[in-house]
Amino acid sequence: MRNFLFENLCLISQRDKKARMITFHPKKNLIVGRNHTGKSSIIKTIFLTLGANPKGKLEKWDQTTVTYLTISVDKTTYKVLYKDGLRALFDSSDKLIMASSTRTEWVAAINNVLGFNLILTDKNSEPLHADTRAFFLPFYINQDGSWQSSWDTFTSLLQYNSPVQSILDYFSGIKPPQYYFLNSQRQIEQKKLSDLNKEFSFLNKAKERFSRSVSLNEVKITALNFTEEIQQLSEEVAELNAKQEHLREKFVRENEIIENIELQINLAKDALKSYEKDIAYLENNTSSDLVCPVCNTVHQDNFLPTLTYAEDARVLQQLIIQLSEDRIKVKGSHGDTERELNSLRSNYSRVSEILQARRDGVRFEDVVKSLGAETAFEAFISEEKVLGDEIRMLEQSVTELEERLKKLTDKKISSEVLKTYRTAYAVALNKLDLPAIKTSTLKLGSRPALSGSGGPRSILAYYSALWSVCFGKYGSFKIPIVIDSPNQQGQDHINLPKVLSYVANDLPDTQIILSSEVDIAEKFDKEIRLSEQYSVLQEGPFELLNVIVEPLLKEMYKELDTKATEAS
Amino acid sequence: MSVDAFNEIFEISSDNDLSEVGGGHGQKGIEFQKYWAIISMIDLYAEGEDFLILFETLQDIAILNSSDAPTEVCVYQVKKKDRGEWTWNRLTSLTEPEDVTKSAKKQKDDSKKVPKPPKSVFEIKNSPIGKLYATICAIKSLKRSGKFISNAGVGLSLADGSEAATFTSCQLSDLESKYLDLLNKGLQQFHPSDETPNLSDITIEKVSIPVDDPQTYTLGKITKYLINQSPRHASQAQSFLSALLTTISPLGAKTDKCISFDELRKQRGYNKLQFASALSNLEALPDFLDVLKIWRDKLGSEGMDYMALTNITIEATKFYTHQLTGNFGSAEADIINQCEDFLKVTPPPSGSLMPFFENAYINLSTKFPKISKGKLQAIFALKAIEHAASRI
Model pLDDT for residues A282-324, shown as the tens digit of each residue: 877 666 565 666 666 655 567 888 899 999 999 999 999 999 9
Q: Which residues of A touch B (CB under 8 A)?
A: 253-254, 257, 260-261, 264-265, 267-268, 271-272, 274-275, 279, 282-286, 288, 294-295, 302-304, 306-316, 318-320, 322-323, 326, 329-330, 333
C-alpha dihedral sign at B250, B255, B256, B262: positive
CB atoms B266 and A288 under 8 Å: yes
Strand A66-73 relative to strand A2-13: parallel, antiparallel, unpaired?
A: antiparallel
B285 Cβ contact partners less than 8 Å away, ≥ 6 residues apart: A307, A308, A311, B233, B236, B239
Cβ-based neighbours of A110, under 8 Å, separated by 6 or more: A50, A51, A80, A89, A116, A131, A132
From the candidates A272, A319, A321, A323, which should be mutated to test the interface with B, based on the most B CB atoms within 10 A? A319
Residue type, A18: K
pLDDT attached to residue A288: 57
How would residue B24 be classed by pLDDT, with cut points 50, 70 and 90? very low
For residue B22, is pLDDT > 50? no
Question: DSSP assignment of A350-379, as one string?
Answer: HHHHHHT-EETTEEHHHHHHHHHHHHHHHH
How far is Cα A458 from Cα A437, in angstroms, rounded to an integer?
Answer: 11
Which of A402, A403, A423, A261 lies closest to A327 in space, CA to CA?
A261
Distance CA B160, CA B176 (A): 8
Question: How does strand A18-23 pair with strand A481-484?
Answer: unpaired
Chain B residues within 8 A of A312 when measuring between CB atoms: 320, 323-324
C-alpha pair distances (Å), A301 with each of A240, A304, A389, B43: 66, 7, 101, 24
Identity of the amino acid at B275: F
Question: Which strands form A28-33's sheet, in the order they lie side by side?
Answer: A140-141, A481-484, A512-516, A28-33, A526-530
Strands (DSSP E) along B173-279, which ranges?
Answer: 202-206, 269-271
Interface test with chain A among B215, B324, B379, B386, by most A beta carbons within 10 Å:
B324
Strands B72-79 and B52-55: unpaired
Which residues in chain A have their CB less than 8 angstroms from residue B271's CB?
none
Q: Are A86 and A553 in contact (CB under 8 A)?
A: no
Q: CB B246 to CB A314 under 8 A? A: no
pLDDT beyond 70 at B76: yes
Q: What is the mean pLDDT of residues B66-85?
A: 90
Answer yes or no: do B285 and A333 touch at CB < 8 A: no
Q: Are A316 and B249 a contacting pair at CB < 8 A?
A: no
Distance of CA A521 to the CA centre of its chain: 54
Cα–Cα dist B301/B307, whole Å: 14
Residue A254 one-letter amino acid: E
Query: Distance (Å, rounded) from C-alpha B128 to C-alpha B124?
Result: 8
Q: How many whole angstroms separate alpha carbon B308 and alpha carbon B310?
A: 5
Q: Cβ of B239 and A326 within 8 Å?
A: no
Indicate yes or no: CB of A295 within 8 angstroms of CB of B326.
yes
B247–A253: do the CB atoms touch at under 8 Å? no
Q: What is the pLDDT of residue B101?
A: 47
* Three-state secondary-structure class, residue A60: coil
Question: Rounded CA gap, B139 and B59, in Å?
Answer: 13
Beta-carbon contacts of residue B210 (< 8 Å; ≥ 6 apart): B151, B216, B217
Average pLDDT over residues B217-225: 95
Separation in Å, CA of B324 to nearest CA in chain A: 6
Q: Is residue A251 a contact partner of residue A334, using CB atoms and an 8 Å limit?
A: yes
- Cα–Cα dist A111/A131, whole Å: 7
Residue type, A125: S
Indicate yes or no: CB of A275 within 8 angstroms of CB of B289: no
Contact B320, A319 (CB under 8 A): yes
- How many CB pairs below 8 Å do chains A and B form together? 121
Q: State whether A264 and B320 contact (CB < 8 Å).
A: no
Q: CA triplet B169, B170, B171: central angle to 5 degrees? A: 135
Cβ pair B60, B22 in contact under 8 A: no
CB A45 within 8 A of CB A9: yes
Question: A319 vs B242: CB contact, 8 Å cut-off?
Answer: no
Instruction: Classify residue B263 by its DSSP letter.
Output: H
The alpha carbon torsion through A380, A385, A391, A397 (nearest 10 deg) reads -160
Whether residue B246 and residue A318 make contact (CB cut-off 8 A), yes or no, is no
Between the alpha carbon of residue B278 and those of residues B34, B185, B239, B283, the distances in Å are 16, 46, 11, 9
Distance from CA of A268 to the nearest CA of B (A): 5
With contacts defined as CB-CB under 8 Å, which chain A residues touch B324?
A: 271-272, 274-275, 294, 309, 312-313, 316
Average pLDDT over residues B18-42: 78
Query: Splitting chain A (568 residues) into consecutive groups of 10 residues, what average pLDDT does each group show?
Result: 94 91 94 87 93 84 89 95 93 92 92 92 84 94 83 85 90 89 88 89 80 59 64 76 87 92 94 90 68 61 85 94 94 92 75 62 63 72 87 93 87 90 91 85 84 82 93 92 80 76 88 88 88 84 91 92 79
Residues 6+ apart with CB under 8 A from A132: A47, A50, A51, A52, A107, A110, A114, A116
Residue type, A58: L
The neighbour count for residue A257, using CB atoms within 10 Å, is 23
Cα dihedral sign, A101-A103-A108-A112: positive
Residue B307, chain A, CB below 8 Å: the answer is yes
Longest CA–CA separation in chain A, Å: 158
Q: How confident is the model at residue B23 (pLDDT cuts 50, 70, 90)?
A: very low
**Nearest Cβ partner of B238 from A308, A314, A320?**
A314
pLDDT, tens digit, 9 for 90 and up, residues B297-352: 998 999 888 888 898 899 889 888 988 887 766 667 888 889 999 999 998 888 88
Q: What is the CA radius of gyration of chain B?
A: 29
Above pLDDT 70, what percent of chain B?
89
| Other beta carbons less than 10 A from residue A433's beta carbon | 14
Measure the CA–CA gap between A414 and A248, rounded to whole angstroms. 86
- Residue B66's DSSP bridge partners are none
Nearest-by-Cβ selection for B243 from A264, A288, A307: A307
The answer to whether B294 faces chain A, any CB pair under 8 Å, is: no
Q: Burial level of B332, CB count in 10 A (0-12/13-18/19+)?
A: middle
Judged by phi (left if over 0) then psi (alpha if -120 to 50, else beta), residue B147 lies in beta
Q: Which of A257, A295, A320 lies nearest to residue B310, judging by beta carbons?
A: A257
- pLDDT above 90: percentage of residues in chain B: 29
Cβ-Cβ contacts under 8 Å, B323 against chain A: 312, 316
B327 in contact with A, Cβ within 8 Å: no
Q: How far apart are CA B62 and CA B60, in angstroms?
A: 7
Q: Which residues of A touch B288 (CB under 8 A)?
A: 315
State the best of A306, A308, A328 to mutate against chain B, taking most chain B CBs within 10 Å.
A306
Give the one of A253, A303, A312 whose C-beta lies nearest to B324's C-beta: A312
Which among B138, B7, B160, B153 has a CA at the least distance from the CA of B84?
Answer: B153
| pLDDT > 50? residue B262 | yes
pLDDT given for residue A5 in this prediction: 95
Residue range B137-155, pLDDT digits in tens:
888 888 999 999 999 888 8
